[in-house]
Structures are given as C-alpha cells and as structure tokens.
C-alpha cells in the first residue's frame, strides 16, 4: 500500500554544495521513495540547465 513521505535532501552538483530541497512523495517503500527523490533531483537539475548533474545526498524521510 502506498504511503506519503515528507522529505528533505541536500543537493550537490559534485563540485559545490548547492543547497537543500524538500517535498512529498508517494511510494510503496522507503527505497522506492528514495529512488523517486533522487530521480526528481536529477531531472530538476537538467530542467534548470545545469552543466553538471545534480545528485541528492543525505535524503531524510519522515
């Protein structure tokens, strides 16, 4: 059964610590939620035109 997780994650482009983002995600497990968050951060970096890929580090779920 799907559960809604509230999350925060630090975002980095591999060279700089760029900040933090937060949101909610609905997933069947914590692992699925973390994968969805990592994919969203990567896609958001590409959408904003970042030259380096963004990665989510230190993902916190509640």
Q: Which pTM was predicted?
A: 0.88
pLDDT digits (tens, 9 = 90+) for 2-58: 999 999 999 998 887 679 999 999 999 999 999 999 999 999 988 888 888 999 989
pLDDT computed for residue 61 by the predictor? 97
d(CA 29, CA 11): 22
- SS3 for 4? strand
pLDDT computed for residue 7 by the predictor? 97
pLDDT computed for residue 15 by the predictor? 83
pLDDT computed for residue 17 by the predictor? 67
């Amino acid at each position: 059964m799907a559960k809604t997780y509230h999350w925060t994650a630090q975002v980095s482009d591999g060279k700089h610590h760029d900040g933090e983002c937060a949101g909610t995600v609905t997933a069947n497990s914590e692992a699925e939620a973390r994968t969805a968050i990592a994919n969203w951060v990567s896609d958001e970096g590409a959408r904003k035109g970042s030259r380096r890929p963004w990665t989510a580090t230190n993902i916190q779920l509640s």
